[in-house]
């Protein structure tokens, strides 16, 4: 249950408890919380602070430059660190961060690795249930691995052939398309979840994790079929927040392992992983002439610049440009 916020009582540092509480009152995603806390810890150690009164926004610059000159981090890594420390100093401690001026990372950004359609289908064919369906959602709908694993039964709409992603990256909801190719498999998966859920109810369980606000607003929904995970874990486990026994979803590590094995069996030499399916989804749409804005919406990118990288992946040969050697 690595994607469920841990109880504040588990945090040993009073200051980090305060920071974590502040982050949660702002409604940031748990993945953002973990990233921010990690960078704040590193900043405190680097600056050798002994008390919160010593924290100074002016110390952000030497820390960020250390990341570039010593750690040689990528631009996005430095940007995440900057966001975390600006959040700490400006939002929580009310310090001025407008005058920050630092050496930015200039490491080249690598183009994402992409499967050909044949490669993607080969990897998918080598996966067993339920990992095959997870991969089909990543490739056919552009989902991140954890977005697929966190899907609830209610998020699948077979009539409109669409899927709703709740609290995706940036803590935003979005809708994306489903492939007609997997509608039957999805219905069978929902049916199997219903059977397992009835068995859990019979055994005195059947409750699933719900975000705190929804748990209070809809206390009975935690045992409803619609809120059950589409890809439930094999075993019941203890919820770290409530200590109640619940059935969570499959872990991302288990999916990553199965896909790594399938990529190896397919003899694909690319540095491919779960996210390669999402990159391949975007690339196929762009090759088919889909508008970049539509792809941005389906992927849930906040900035169109993030989506534009796929134009470099596709390359100019799809626009009709030919090599001079072709004229020989």
What global pTM score does this model have?
0.81
In this prediction, residues 312-323 reach a mean pLDDT of 62
For residue 288 the two structure tokens come to 């088919």
pLDDT value of position 104 = 73
* Mean pLDDT of the residues in the chain: 89
66 is catalytic: no
pLDDT value of position 99 = 83
- Out of 150, 197, 278, 279, the active site residue is 278
What are the residues facing 249 on neighbouring strands? 232
12 is catalytic: no
- Out of 132, 144, 150, 248, the active site residue is 144
SS3 for the chain, per residue? CCCCCCCHHHCCCHHHHHHHHHHHHCCCCHHHHHHHHHHHHHHHHHHCCCCHHHCCHHHHHHHHHHHHHCCCCCHHHHHHHHHHHHHHHHHHCCCCCCCCCCCCCCCCCCCCCCCCHHHHHHHHHCCCCCHHHHHHHHHHHCCCHHHHHCCEHHHEECCCCEEEECCCCCCCCEEEECCHHHHHHHHHHHHHHHHHHHHHHHCCCCCCCCCHHHHHHCCCHHHCHHHCECCEEEEEEECCCCCCEEEEECCHHHHHHHHHHHHHHCCCCCCCCHHHHHHHHHHHHHHCCCCHHHHHHHHCCCCHHHHHHHHHHHCHHHHCCCCHHHHC
218 is catalytic: no
221 is catalytic: no
pLDDT, one tens digit per residue, over 239-262 is 877 778 999 999 999 999 999 999
- Out of 139, 209, 229, 310, the active site residue is 310
pLDDT, one tens digit per residue, over 130-169 is 999 999 999 999 999 999 999 999 999 999 999 999 876 7
For residue 100 the two structure tokens come to 């920050």
pLDDT value of position 13 = 93
169 is catalytic: yes
- Out of 34, 61, 79, 169, the active site residue is 169
186/188 Cα distance (integer angstroms): 5
301 is catalytic: yes
Using an 8 Å Cβ cutoff, are 311 and 292 in contact?
yes
Q: Is the pLDDT of residue 213 over 80?
A: no
């Amino acid at each position: 249950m690595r994607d469920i916020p841990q109880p504040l009582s588990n945090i040993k540092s009073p200051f980090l408890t305060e920071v974590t509480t502040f982050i949660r009152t702002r409604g940031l995603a748990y993945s953002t919380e973990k990233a921010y806390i990690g960078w704040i810890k590193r900043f405190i150690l680097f600056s050798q602070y002994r008390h919160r009164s010593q924290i100074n926004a002016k110390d952000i610059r030497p820390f960020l430059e250390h990341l570039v000159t010593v750690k040689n981090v990528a631009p996005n890594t430095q940007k995440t660190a900057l966001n975390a420390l600006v959040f700490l100093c400006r939002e929580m401690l009310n310090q001025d961060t407008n005058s920050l001026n630092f050496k930015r990372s200039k490491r080249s950004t690598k183009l994402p690795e992409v499967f050909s359609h044949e490669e993607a289908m080969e990897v998918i064919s080598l996966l067993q249930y339920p990992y095959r369906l997870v991969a089909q959602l990543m490739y056919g709908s552009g989902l991140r691995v954890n977005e697929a694993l966190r899907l609830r039964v209610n998020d699948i709409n077979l009539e409109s052939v669409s899927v709703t992603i709740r609290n995706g990256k940036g803590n935003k909801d979005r809708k994306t398309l489903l492939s007609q190719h997997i509608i039957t498999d999805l219905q069978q998966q929902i049916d199997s979840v219903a059977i397992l859920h009835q068995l859990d109810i019979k055994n005195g369980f059947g409750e699933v994790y719900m975000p705190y606000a929804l748990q209070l607003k809809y206390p009975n929904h935690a045992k409803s079929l619609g809120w059950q995970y589409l890809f439930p874990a094999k075993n019941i486990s203890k919820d770290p927040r409530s200590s109640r026994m619940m059935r969570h979803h499959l872990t991302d590590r288990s999916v990553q392992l199965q896909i790594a094995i399938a990529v190896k069996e397919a003899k694909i030499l690319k540095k491919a992983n779960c996210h390669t399916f999402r990159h391949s989804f975007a690339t196929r749409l762009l090759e088919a002439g889909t508008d970049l804005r539509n792809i941005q919406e389906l992927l849930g990118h906040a900035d169109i610049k993030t989506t534009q990288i796929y134009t470099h992946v596709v390359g100019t040969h799809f626009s009709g440009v030919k090599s001079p050697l072709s004229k020989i």
